[in-house]
Copies of this chain bind each other. A is one copy, B any other.
Amino acid sequence: MKSRLYLFDTTLRDGQQTPGIDFSVEDKIAIAAMLDAFGIDYVEGGYPGANPTDTAFFSGKRTTRAKFVAFGMTKRVGVSASNDPGLAGLLQSQSDAICYVAKSWDYHVRVALGCTEDENLDAIRASVEAARDAGKEAMVDCEHFFDGYKANPGYALACAKAAHEAGARWVVLCDTNGGTLPSEVRAIVARVIAEGIPGENLGIHAHDDTGQAVANSLAAVEAGVRQIQGTLNGIGERCGNANLITLIPTLVLKPAFADRFTTGISAEALKGISRLSRAFDELLNRAPDTQSPYVGSSAFATKAGIHASAILKEPETYEHVPPETVGNRRRVMVSDQGGRANFVAELKRRGIEVARADHRLDTLIALVKEREAQGYAYEGADASFELLARNTLGTVPKFFDVTSFRCMIERRFDANGQLKTVSEAIVKIEVDGEERMSVAEGHGPVNALDIALRKDLGKLQAEIEDMELVDFKVRILNGGTEAVTRVLIESRDATGARWWTVGVSDNIIDASFQALMDSIVYKLMKNREMAGLVAAE
């Protein structure tokens, strides 16, 4: 009989402590949905009452499968639980559970709380009871537990016991300062269990300050805890929290854990973990860590050399787990020949058949290499890659021409004396020998250009009515306002299809225009393909 391990995500709470990361309410809603769909057991959303973002986020329940957790301090000393406004905020939030943070290092009780050790124990008990009375699951993060245990084991244990005896579902042992080593975690967890708190009620919260947050979490599980707290891609205060994206595959795939434990993540769900990790980085608009365990683009990559040919023959003796199990793929970086086979396979996947010997393939490979050197990223822009390929193979009709465009952005005082910035775009196109001109205003130049461009395509207009732009990402490829800018645009239409296009230029408007154009042309081509007017090559 396997034991159940519970996964607790604190991306939206401790992850919010990461320097440079600030989630909006919309970000939090999107991330909670991702975690919920993936199969995480607990999603901690923030501290309702502490700031407007978190208060707004907790005005609704944001998960369906996962338990939605509000974080906050135990009641203040000197007021009763029912008279503490901070506690009231937690109890009234739309959460399923409350995770209290409680001091468990005597030093911090004295210095930071300025109360007696017993008052702190009372606050823990009363807060847990208040959560239970409100019909919520209660848990307690014992802050500084390991450092506290080293300084005063009796008091650290007393805090954990107070939480457990008051009925907390979970007592979470936190390595708040992140400096505890795996052997210490193992020994202290064993001690806590020997003192009477069952492992079934214990959790671990580790930080990466010695590069061992993952190892500390696993050591705690081996010693008996059954809940693991961590974050997506290991974001978090200072060096980050335990990385759930790294921990989960080890728990699900490695016999040392998989033979003893189950989690909420099925083998099928695990295949979505690479996508989850990348989607989260996308949302943060940062480049994924290529060397990230399991999910990085280099995690199963080998440079040409002594290993590469052997890997292709017997991958399992060179890979610690099969890349497909985590939704990643093998990459063997070999020269031209391998590159050619890759291209043929990639085109075939899109329904474009090209013979390996076709000279147009050389043109395409050279073009892609040249463009990627300029900053294009076709891996993230499927539709632009497909267009480039079909253009090189000569199978994209000339739908329309943009003969010129003009954007104007003006900041001035309006009639009411308010400063106002207005953006306008004018686009001149030619469809079927006929010239058309459109003008539009927008929230910014790209928005105005997008609206003007799609305003009047003449006889083609009806075909693009259902398409809309859903995302727009900008990355500056090197410093300065003279830098090269890459724009990625995501579009969708009424069929539910979504496609990404890319543009690169030293001018952000120009880069955006390229991506917008590709998006429209791709849509027109796709319509024809579906209508069978253009046969697949």
Contact = CB atoms under 8 A, between A and B. Distances in A.
B474 A510 contact: no
A304 interface: yes
B52 A238 contact: no
Nearest to A402: B411
A19 B320 contact: no
Contacts of A416: none
Given A52-B369, A471-B480, A481-B450, A508 B444 contact: yes
A327 to B, nearest CB: 16
Contact of A20 (B105, B210, B379, B483): B379
**Interface residue tally on A, bucketed by range:** 35 or more
Each complex incorporates copies of this chain amounting to 2
A302 B20 contact: no
A471 B479 contact: yes
A343 interface: no
Contacts of A446: 481, 508
B51 A337 contact: yes
A256 to B, nearest CB: 6
Most buried by B among A222, A313, A406: A406
Given A293-B211, A369-B51, A469-B481, A444 B177 contact: no
Interface of A: 16-20, 22, 24, 26-27, 50-53, 73, 105, 107-108, 111-112, 144, 147, 176-184, 208-212, 214-215, 218-219, 222, 234-235, 237-240, 243, 246-247, 249-250, 254, 256, 285, 290-294, 296-306, 310, 313-314, 317-321, 331, 333, 335-337, 369, 372-373, 375, 377, 379-380, 402-413, 421, 423, 442-447, 450, 469-483, 485, 490, 505-510, 512-513
13 contacts: A19-B331, A22-B335, A22-B336, A24-B375, A51-B336, A112-B310, A178-B320, A183-B256, A209-B320, A210-B249, A240-B291, A423-B509, A471-B476
